[in-house]
Structure formats: C-alpha cells, structure tokens
Amino acid sequence: MTTGRLPPPLPDGARSFSRRELLALLARCGAGLLAAPPLLELVCSHGLAQSAGGRPNRKRLVILWLDGGPSQIDTFDPKPGTATNGPFRALSTDVAGWYFCEHLPQLAARAGRLAVVRTMTSKEGSHARARQLLHWGYSPNPSVAFPSLGAVVAHEIGDLNHELPAFVQVLGEPWGPGYLGVEAAPYMVADPSNRLENLSRVGATDPARIAQRDELLELLDGDFAQRGGGPVVHEVAVQRLRARRLMDSNLLPAFDLRLEPDAVRDRYGRSKFGQGVLMARRLIESGVAAVEVALDGWDTHKDNFRRTKALCDELDPAFSALLDDLAERQLLDDTLVLCIGEFGRSPTILAGEGRNHWPSNYFAVLAGGGVRCGRPIGITDERSEQIVERPVQVPDLFATVAKLLGYDGSRKFQASTNRPVTLVDPDGAVVTELLPA
Amino acid sequence: MPRAVMDTAECRDAVMKSKWLILLAAGPILAVAVSRATALDEGAKGASAASWAPVVERIDRALDAEWAARGLADTASADDATWLRRLSIDLLSTIPEAGEVAAFLVDPSADKRDRKVDQYLDDRRFSETLARLWTQLLLGASGVNEAKLTGYLQRWLESAFSKGMAFDRIVRELNCATGEGAEPGPMSFQLAYYDTIETLAGVTARAFLGLQIQCAQCHDHPFDHWKRSEFNRFTGFLADMQGDLRVGVGQRVPHWRLLDRTPEWGVYGKLNRVLRKLRGAADDGAMDDGAMAGASMAGGAMGGEAQGSNAGDGLSALQELFARFRRSGDESSGASMTAPSDAVLDEFAPRLPADAREAVALFRERRELFGDAGFLDARPYEPLSDQSKRQALAAWITSPENPWFAQAIVNRAWGHLFGKGLIEPIDDLSGSKDRLLPELLADIGRDFLRNGTDLRGLIGALVRTKAYGLRNSTAADPERRAEQERCFAAHPLRAFTPEQLQYSITQATTGVVLESRNGAWNREQSKFLDELRSRVTAIDGNGERRLGASIPQALFMMNGRYSYRSATLKKEGRLERFLDVKLTPEERLRDLWYATLGRPPAPAEAAAIVRAVDARDDEGFHAFEDLFWALLNSAEFQCNH
C-alpha cells in the first residue's frame, strides 16, 4: 500500500512474485505451518538481509519506562541534608560512597550491577514531546515518523522471522516502528496476567474448516492480486502468515505467567508492572529482541512522596528480580536493561507536596548488556537543580545503546521523499564511561 | 479485466445443483437501515459544481497531455462499483452500504456519479471526515497538552464545514481566536500549543502554507532556504499569545482562555506571584496576572519556592524591580506593559530569589528570540494599533497575495484523494524536488481563491476528474506501477485509517450505518476505535494515521470479537438476519459481496466459491460464516483501491 509515509517497498525480488507463488504462499498459510520457514525467508528476505549481515546478534534490550517523569531526588540522586530532599532518607548501596533513596533497598543492594547517569538533560518539558524524545532519540519533527528504540533494536538486531514478534510492549501506549515499517511494530500486551488477545480461533477450530476458510481467502486474494491488488495482498499475506506462526507457536507459553512458580511471581511483585517485567524476562529467554514495560504514575505534581514511595515499591523488586534472573540464566551480559522516564522533577517542593517537571537534569539507569557498572555518571549540584559535571544529552544515550548492542546508528533511511535520517541523531556521542573497560 | 455486474444466468448456473439451494430461499435484499444525510443548516454550499467545471476540464487536459508524453495513457477507468467504494471511503470514511451499492449499480442515468458526488458532499459524514483530517493535521503529530482539545477542535471544525464556512475564514478563526469559556471552539488549536509557540509556528507553516520551517528552529535549513532568523521572526507573531487551560482552579467545568498579551505581562505576573509568596500573602488563586503566568514556558519548570537565606533581600529587590515595569493605558482597552532593559535586569538578577531569577532569564531569552515579528515572504510587517500580531499573521496567511496558502490547501486536498500531492512531500512547497505539473497546482490555487476558498467545491472538482476515476495499476513492473501512480495515471492502493476500518467493519458485519460518529458513541465503540488506533503503523503525508498490515491487525481480523464474530451475533449480527430473509441463491451471494466488497462477485469467482463450498462435508450456517470470514479478511476488504 503506497501512502505518503508508509514503509519503503520490499526489494523487487521479494515484492514481485507470480500468482503461482502467491497461491503457494496462501496455500501454505492454511496447510499448516511446518512448511513455512523457508517460504518466509523468501518473502521476508528484506528483513533477513538487514539483520546484522547474517551474523547472529544475541543482544537484547529491556526498557523499563517510568511514565510521567520520575523524581531524580527521591530515587537515584538523593540530596540528604538539603531543603530540596524531602522526607526520604538516603540509603547506602553496596558501592561505597554511593546512595539511593531508602525506598529502593533491593536495588541499593545491587548497585554494583547498575550504572546511573544522573545528568541526563534536555529542553523538552512537556510530557508528549519529552516522551517522544526519550523514545525516538530525536526531538519531535512532524515531518519524520521516527521509530522507537525498541523497534530500532528489533529491526537492527532482532530476528524478524522469529515465531514471536521481535518487539513486545507490555502496558503503556504503543511506540511504533515509524519509517522502519510494520515488521518492527510492537506487539502490545495490555495486561500481563490476562490471556493474549485474539490468539485463539473462535468458531472454527477444526483443521478442515480452517483449511476451507483459507481456500476461500486464497480465491479472493488471488483474484484481487490479478486486478492490481498485488502489493496489498502481499503485505496482508505476510502478516497473516506471521500471525499464524504466533498463534501456533510452541513459544506462546512465554506469555503465560501461570507457568511461573508463585514464589517467582511474588519476587517480581504482584503489581501489573512487576508481572510485566517477569513477562519481559520470559520473552527475552524465548528470543524476543526488545521488550518495553511501562510503569505509569510518576507525574507527581501533588503528593509526590507518598506516590513516589508506592511506585518505588513496584519498581524495586521487579527490577531487582529481573537482574537476578537474567544473571542466573547467563543472559545479563547480552541483555541491556534501560530504566528511564521523560524527565525529572523540580528540586522545589510545591504546596501540596508536589514537584514540577524538570528536564534540565534527570536520570537513566543502565544494567547488563556489557555496560560498565557500579558507579554513577555525572554530578548535579547540591539542590539537584543543575548539572555540575558531565551533561548527557538524549542522543548521547541512544548512541551508547547502539554501541552496546552492536548496531550501526549511522545507518540512513529514507523517512520521507527527500530527507535521509540516521537511526541515531548524528549529534549523539557515545558515553564512553558506560562502555566496558 | 473490467468487472461487470454478475450475469444472473451465470450465477444461477453456478448455484444450481449446489447444496446452497438447501440454504437459500427467495426473498428481498438485506434489510438495513441506511440513514441518509441530515439536512444542512445553511444554504451556503449551493451547487458550486458549475463554477468548478472549467477546473475539472483543465486538470483533465493537463494530465492527459502529461500521460501522453510519458506513455502512460493506457489505464482503464474504474467500474461503477470500484468508483463508488473509493468515493465513499474518501469522502465519508466508510464503505457504501449494500443497498446503496445495489441501487447505484442498477441506476441507468448518465449523471449518477455527479449526483452521488453532490449527495456525499452534503452528507454530515463528509464534514466529519474533513474535520477529522484537519484536526489530526493540526493536533495529531505534536504534543497536545490536553486530549480534550482534540474533541473540541473536531467539533468546531465539523460545524464550520457543515455550515459551509469559507475555508479562509476557518483559517483566520483558528489563527487569531481569543476568548474564554468552557468550550474553546476555534481556540482549541492554538491552546494546545500555549506553552510551545515554536512548535505552533512549525505546525502553522506546515498546515496552512505547506512550508517546512520547523527545522530552522535549531539551525539554518540544510535543504531549503529557511534561516533560523526567519523562523524566529515568524514565531514572533505568536509571542503575544497567552493561553490558560484552567482558568479558576476548582471549577467543575474547566475554563479555557486565550488572549493577546505581551510577554511582559507574563513575567510581571510571575514576579507578582513570587512577591506575594515572599510577603506571606495567602495564595488564594485570585491573582489575575498570576493566573496568566505559565504562558510561553518552554521546557522550564515553574518554581514556586519562596524560601531562601536572603528572603528579605529578595523581597526588596523584587519591589524595586516592580517599580521599573511601566503600565500604560487602561487594561480593558488593551493596556501595554514595558519591561526594563536587559542592562537593568542584569543588575537586579543577583539579588532576586531563584524562581524570580529564572522567570526573568526565560523572559529575556524569549524577548531576544521572538521580540520581532516578520512574514516569510518579502512583505514588510507594519504593526497596527488595532490589530494583534496573531491577527496580522492570520490576515497574511489568507491574503490572496500569499504565495503559498492556496496551493498548500489544494495540494493537501489532492493528496487526501489521490494518496500523493502534485508536489511531494505534500507540505514542502518550497523545498520539494518532486514536483508534477507545478503550474497546474498554481492554476487550481487561483481557482480556489476565485471561488471564495470553497474547499467543498474544490474536493467536488477533484473527484470529478478523469484521474480520480481511473482503476488501479496492473503493471507487473513495480517501477512502471510507481510511475503510473506518481503521475496519477493509475489510482493507488491505500491502507485504511482506524476510523475507516471501524466504520467499514461495523457496517459490513451489522448492516448499521454509523451516522453520527463524533462523540455520541457508546463505550464499546470507543473501545473498538482505541483498539484499532493501537494498531496504527504509519502516519501518511497528510498526518492521517494508517493501518498498514501488521501481526496484531491480522489477529484482530482473523479472531477478533469485532470482525466476523460480530457478523455471527444473534441480534446485531448480519449473518443470522441475512439467512432469515428469503433470497434467491444468486441474490444471496451477490448481497454478501455488496455488503463487504461493495461489488458483485465475478462469475468465475462465484463459480469457484460455490465449488469450494460444495466440496465441504458440512453445510448450513458454517459455510456462510466461513465465507464471511474470508471476505472480511481479504486484502481487498482491508484497503481503499
């Protein structure tokens, strides 16, 4: 389907196929999926050719998205003894001389496995624009449909032919693939404890009927392709094939948390977010390239302390359990965990115990993925109001993620007819302090 | 392969001796409530087709010549069914209902397409479609602060379009509206950007002028001629805009306010608030100036802190600084406010409390950047005492002498109907390197102005062109296909928007036409739309969200409760009712096709389908359920072709 900003067409070889091939494709959709992989390689050679030039890249990304703008002072950049600090005490971590807020005790005990950038900075103080900046690594520009970080990772290092979608989002709003096209689109999980939506065939479960439906569909699509509908038929058929692979996948239990022991589910916390992070671990184990899990509620213009504590109580066990489990499964070195929100919160405490938006300094926590851990990056002043040392711009963070995960951020894409765009903003410079020593 | 209405004899042939006869009995067509357009409130949009007729001819001539020169003149016209479905999706955001398809196809009159265009242009769903298009364009791609504003803007635009308000007037209202109230109407556009006027400047230039100046916000444009200074001067027209999303804290109904007040008032209000805090006055929220503060805050946070080691110093410094602000005139008649010079502000800065210092610094930065206003063409801006900067901007945008306005609107309307504009990208008139027949665009632009910026008439003209009535390309070579589509020598295939898919599925599966779709939905419907929106995979050049193929959408169509499952519901679903009605076999087959694909089945298709069904070892309801499933899941159903 050719619309202004829809994804670029497949290369000729993959795109133009005869009616016979088309029918074969559609027939195989119905004839069971065992025969599908070689065929899928044919139609998706586009994706295959692009994933790391054939070299398997085992790297993975988990984004823990703290929506609303988490307070840096009340989490990872406490300012004990100042008026800006509020009621929370600072808690020493397992790294000498480094403190977190008292409501992150489990993470404090694992600080040796974390790197905290305390000096993220941007000029975007409105939620929508800052969310876009932190998902795209670019300031919003209405003429470019940017892909989100998860989609980029799925597209660049994920296996787009995997039975499971290469990019899954649990909770939160969808962050699309932009100019990268549908193959990197997120698969959304609205509630990790529920069954997945639309995966079961209702009304026609017996194989004969399924085959008969597909035969009818094949007739209709084959006819439409002949009348000029070929490109759409191709796209729809490919995605239907992938949907079928998901429906019939042996890996579907990755989405089923009931298969986890109660004790494990408890360790992550029984909140939606906690269970979502557990699902992220299961998906990473099953070969999904990028998972984003959202924890909403950090926009604490009022009642900051009570709410931030409650959110920390969700974040702390989930993040910690994820680190432990990934380490135990030898997956932590390959899995980068990135914990970010759209900005920080003001040092000034408002009437009603609130804090306002504060984009001029905020935090990003990194773990795993080979990141150099056990220390903070950057220093803020005593009020956590300004950066004293080592500002890190959002494009710098995105360049660092590309470096750590091993994809080329300078790859260019045609985002609209005459504007080549690189995956990572060329202004971004890798934060070398985060690279392995 | 031109598609004719299925020959009844052939069809009967196909179903005779088939087990379909068991299922089928004779009876009338699908009983469906097809509600017609509501009457229009004004006669303003009288038959303008006549005044646009020469435009249609001019477009046809220009494209004919272009096609002949490029050897692209061989595409056949679309048949009536294809044309009707396309027109309905483009103008009403939904496929046509089965009964309407049937009536249109048997109508023998020569002017039936003409009459159908007029009928659709007068349909309330057309105003809604246009309103949604413009709402998404104006608010969609950027960070809108208040989701409610989207609904308000859509409602106002819908009413403006349905009243036949001239488009230049709509644009003027959007760009200089002022006022206060619970329903912000045209203010909704600029209110959404009350604290990010730079973003607003970019959106304004893009939407109404087809110019991409927003990159010049940070640097001189690399591909285009826009300079940062030009961007800043253009933004300067918006510098006096002061918006407030919550006038009167604690009111049950939020009040919105938008007015013109210089940034001096803003900083004055903020300083006043700090001062009152320092004085320990109760913050009762009654300070008018204070309530206005918050405008033109980009990125910064509003400090409210008053404590500090030198509160006394800060207080006296603030009081002294206040004395340096000058007010002149009576506030009700637009008093002006003068702020001290940079030198004076510099002198005070060290003594001010932190949040006052911040407010002053921000004010200085913005005075420096946006203190001057200037148009994007060579025309000088001369301030008038009775005209706000925003009014001057709105007048300049819609002036007949504006070099971009008319062409930008025409190119956009063209893009909505043809998938691409004459100039691509659709909103890059000055920087584009992909221009087809730019002189034709200029011509139509002049016609648009001559006809009083009648957007409805323009769209009516464009859908009456020969190009709009062409069928899809059947070229096997993708390059040939691309060239045909780029030159409008073949109609493109386009993905549905979420709304188009929702209305079309609902209509196909239930037979109910959603007549009023703005605001009055039940919860199920809103949920449905939200679900679809979460599947959006692309935003096209017009800012419209499009549903490309994706795994979630495939699952939704195959297994979702809103797709074919709706059709099988006992009460609301179409299938049950459909089977109850007595129909001849051929009518039954035909009506299923009308309801989903908007066309009759081709003879070969019908024969093959019947064979496929006959080969089954089950019969009855299941056969139809599976057929319905296949029709809804077909690629043809899921796109505008």
- pLDDT tens for B141-169 read 545 556 688 889 999 999 999 999 999 99
Kindly state the tokens that stand for A413: 């894409």
- Asked whether the predicted pLDDT for residue B95 surpasses 70, the reply is yes
Of the listed ranges A34-38, B64-68, B103-107, the least confidently predicted one is: A34-38
- Report yes or no: A294 and A188 within 8 Å, Cβ to Cβ: no
pLDDT for A20 equals 42
Work out the percent of chain A whose per-residue pLDDT is above 70.
Answer: 85
Interface of B with A in 337-376 (CB under 8 A): 355
Kindly state the tokens that stand for A74: 């009340």
Average pLDDT of the residues of chain B: 80
Task: Count CB pairs under 8 A between chains A and B.
Answer: 281
Q: Is A238 exposed, middle or buried (0-12, 13-18, 19+ CB in 10 A)?
A: buried
Question: What's B352-392 look like in SS3?
Answer: CCHHHHHHHHHHHHHHHHHCCCCCCCCCCCCCCCCCCHHHH
Task: Please write the tens of the pLDDT for every residue from B228-271.
Answer: 899 999 999 999 988 877 665 555 666 888 988 888 888 888 88
Q: What is d(CA B319, CA A369) in angstroms, rounded to the nearest whole number?
A: 56
Q: How confident is the model at residue A42 (pLDDT cuts 50, 70, 90)?
A: very low
Interface test with A, best of B551, B596, B621, B636 (most A CBs within 10 A): B551
Average pLDDT of the residues of chain A: 85
B312 or A193, which is more confident?
Answer: A193
Task: Name the nearest CA neighbour of B359 among B280, B287, B257, B290.
Answer: B290
Number of Cα atoms under 13 Å in the Cβ half of residue B145: 23
A29 or A69, which is more confident?
Answer: A69
Mean pLDDT of B181-200: 87
Which of A220, A351, A416 faces B630 most closely, judged by CB atoms? Answer: A220
B317 or B225, which is more confident?
Answer: B317
End-to-end CA distance of chain A: 48
Asked if A227's CB is within 8 angstroms of B431's CB, the reply is: no
Interface test with B, best of A3, A33, A214 (most B CBs within 10 A): A3
Distance from CA of B493 to the nearest CA of A (A): 5
Q: What is d(CA B491, CA B233) in angstroms, rounded to the nearest whole number?
A: 41
Interface test with B, best of A71, A85, A123, A232 (most B CBs within 10 A): A232
Contacts of A416 in chain B (CB under 8 A): 425, 541
Work out the percent of chain B whose per-residue pLDDT is above 90.
Answer: 41
A348 or A13, which is more confident?
Answer: A348
Task: Please write the tens of the pLDDT for every residue from A206-224.
Answer: 888 888 888 889 989 999 9
Of the listed ranges A239-248, B9-18, B321-330, B572-581, the least confidently predicted one is: B9-18
- Asked whether the predicted pLDDT for residue B85 surpasses 90, the reply is yes
- Asked whether the predicted pLDDT for residue A352 surpasses 50, the reply is yes
Of the listed ranges A86-90, B133-137, B217-221, B437-441, the least confidently predicted one is: B217-221
Task: Name the nearest CA neighbour of B579 among B27, B8, B16, B14.
Answer: B27
Report the Cα B39 to chain-centroid distance in Å: 24
Task: Please write the tens of the pLDDT for every residue from B478-508.
Answer: 889 989 999 999 999 998 998 999 999 989 9
Asked if B554's CB is within 8 angstroms of A240's CB, the reply is: yes
Cβ-based neighbour number of residue A427 at 10 Å:
13
Of the listed ranges A37-41, B361-365, B413-417, B455-459, the least confidently predicted one is: A37-41
Task: Please write the tens of the pLDDT for every residue from A159-175.
Answer: 887 889 999 999 988 88
Mean pLDDT of B180-193: 89
pLDDT for B457 equals 96
What residue in A sits closest to B137 (Cα-Cα)?
Answer: A142
pTM of the model: 0.76
- Asked whether the predicted pLDDT for residue B335 surpasses 90, the reply is no
Which of A127, A229, A417 faces B143 most closely, judged by CB atoms? Answer: A127
Number of Cα atoms under 13 Å in the Cβ half of residue A362: 29
Angstrom distances, CA of residue A361 to CA of A93, A138, B307, B334, B366: 22, 18, 22, 39, 21
Plot region of B488 (φ>0 → left; ψ -120 to 50 → alpha; else → beta): left
Q: B426 touching A, CB under 8 A?
A: yes
Task: Name the nearest CA neighbour of B56 among B488, B461, B489.
Answer: B461
Is residue B295 within a helix (H) or strand (E), and if so which, with residue range? strand B293-296
Contacts of B206 in chain A (CB under 8 A): 142-143
Question: What's B454-480 look like in SS3?
Answer: CHHHHHHHHHCCCHHHECECCCCCHHH
Q: What is d(CA B521, CA A205) in angstroms, rounded to the nearest whole number?
A: 33
Contacts of B614 in chain A (CB under 8 A): none
- Report yes or no: A117 and A366 within 8 Å, Cβ to Cβ: yes
What residue in B sits closest to A163 (Cα-Cα)?
Answer: B551
pLDDT for B598 equals 96
pLDDT for B209 equals 97
Q: How confident is the model at residue B44 (pLDDT cuts 50, 70, 90)?
A: very low
Is residue B630 within a helix (H) or strand (E), and if so which, with residue range? helix B621-633
What residue in A sits closest to B593 (Cα-Cα)?
Answer: A220
Distance from CA of B35 to the nearest CA of A (A): 30
Quick check: bond before B425 cis, omega within 30?
yes
Mean pLDDT of B336-342: 83
- Asked whether the predicted pLDDT for residue B511 surpasses 80, the reply is yes
Mean pLDDT of B330-357: 79
- Asked whether the predicted pLDDT for residue A257 surpasses 90, the reply is yes
Distance from CA of A201 to the nearest CA of B (A): 6
Under 8 Å CB-to-CB from A87, ≥6 apart: which residues?
A305
b/e string for B455-473 if b means 16 or more Cβ within 10 A?
bbbbbbbbbbbbbbbbbbb
Identity of residue A97: G
**DSSP structural state of residue B143:** -
pLDDT for A12 equals 33
Task: Please write the tens of the pLDDT for every residue from A290-337.
Answer: 999 999 999 998 899 999 999 999 999 999 999 999 999 999 999 999
Q: How confident is the model at residue A150 (pLDDT cuts 50, 70, 90)?
A: very high
Question: What's B76-141 look like in SS3?
Answer: CECCHHHHHHHHHHHHHCCCCCHHHHHHHHHCCCCCHHHHHHHHHHCCHHHHHHHHHHHHHHHHHC
Work out the percent of chain A whose per-residue pLDDT is above 90.
Answer: 58
Q: What is d(CA A228, CA B352) in angstroms, rounded to the nearest whole number?
A: 71
Contacts of B214 in chain A (CB under 8 A): 141-143
Is residue B278 within a helix (H) or strand (E), and if so which, with residue range? helix B263-278
Contacts of B550 in chain A (CB under 8 A): 182, 185, 239
Identity of residue B314: G
Distance from CA of A9 to the nearest CA of B (A): 9
**Report for A366-375, B299-308, B519-528: range of highest mean pLDDT:** A366-375
Of the listed ranges A264-278, B181-195, B208-222, the least confidently predicted one is: B208-222
Asked if B555's CB is within 8 angstroms of A197's CB, the reply is: yes
Q: Is A276 exposed, middle or buried (0-12, 13-18, 19+ CB in 10 A)?
A: buried
Asked if B538's CB is within 8 angstroms of A348's CB, the reply is: no
Q: What is d(CA B534, CA B552) in angstroms, rounded to the nearest whole number?
A: 9
Kindly state the tokens that stand for A93: 């971590």
What are the residues facing A170 on neighbouring strands? A189, A293
What residue in A sits closest to B471 (Cα-Cα)?
Answer: A228
What are the residues facing A376 on neighbouring strands? A116
**Report for A143-157, A190-204, B112-126: range of highest mean pLDDT:** B112-126
What are the residues facing A392 on neighbouring strands? A120
Rg (CA), chain B: 29
Q: What is d(CA B180, CA A361) in angstroms, rounded to the nearest whole number?
A: 36
Task: Please write the tens of the pLDDT for every residue from B360-393.
Answer: 888 888 888 898 999 999 889 999 988 999 999 9
B380 or A43, which is more confident?
Answer: B380
| B512-515: Cβ within 8 A, 24+ apart | B512/B32, B512/B33, B512/B572, B513/B32, B513/B33, B513/B34, B513/B35, B513/B94, B513/B97, B514/B94, B515/B35, B515/B38, B515/B124, B515/B125
pLDDT for A41 equals 34
Question: Nearest 5°: CA angle at B309, between B307 and B314?
Answer: 75
- Asked whether the predicted pLDDT for residue A428 surpasses 80, the reply is yes
Helix, strand or coil, per DSSP, at residue B247? strand
Which of B141, B433, B641 faces A142 most closely, judged by CB atoms? Answer: B141
Q: How confident is the model at residue B13 (pLDDT cuts 50, 70, 90)?
A: low
- Asked whether the predicted pLDDT for residue B287 surpasses 80, the reply is no
Asked if B427's CB is within 8 angstroms of A418's CB, the reply is: no
Contacts of A172 in chain B (CB under 8 A): none
Q: B39 touching A, CB under 8 A?
A: no
- Asked whether the predicted pLDDT for residue A49 surpasses 60, the reply is no
Q: What is d(CA B359, CA B270) in angstroms, rounded to the nearest whole number?
A: 7
Task: Please write the tens of the pLDDT for every residue from B167-184.
Answer: 999 999 999 999 888 888
Question: What's chain A look like in SS3?
Answer: CCCCCCCCCCCHHHHCCCHHHHHHHHHHHHCCCCCHHHHHHHHCHHHHHHCHHHCCCCCEEEEEEEECCCCCCCCCCCCCCCCCCCCCCEEECCCCCCEEECCCHHHHCCHHHEEEEEEEECCCCCHHHHHHHHHHCCCCCCCCCCCCHHHHHHHHHCCCCCCCCCEEEECCCCCCCHHHCHHHCCEEECCCCCCCCCCCCCCCCCHHHHHHHHHHHHHHHHHHHHHHHHHHHHHHHHHHHHHHHHHCCCCHHHHCHHHCCHHHHHHHCCCHHHHHHHHHHHHHHCCCCEEEEEEECCCCCCCHHHHHHHHHHHHHHHHHHHHHHHHHCCCCCCEEEEEEECCEECCCCCCCCCCCEECCCEEEEEEECCCCCCEEECEECCCCCCEEECCEEHHHHHHHHHHHHCCCCCCEEEEECCEEEECCCCCCCCCHHHCCC
- Report yes or no: A79 and A346 within 8 Å, Cβ to Cβ: no
pLDDT for B559 equals 87
Under 8 Å CB-to-CB from B83, ≥6 apart: which residues?
B77, B113, B469
Cβ-based neighbour number of residue A324 at 10 Å:
16
pLDDT for A381 equals 94
Angstrom distances, CA of residue B406 to CA of B168, B209, B410: 9, 8, 6
B468 or A128, which is more confident?
Answer: B468
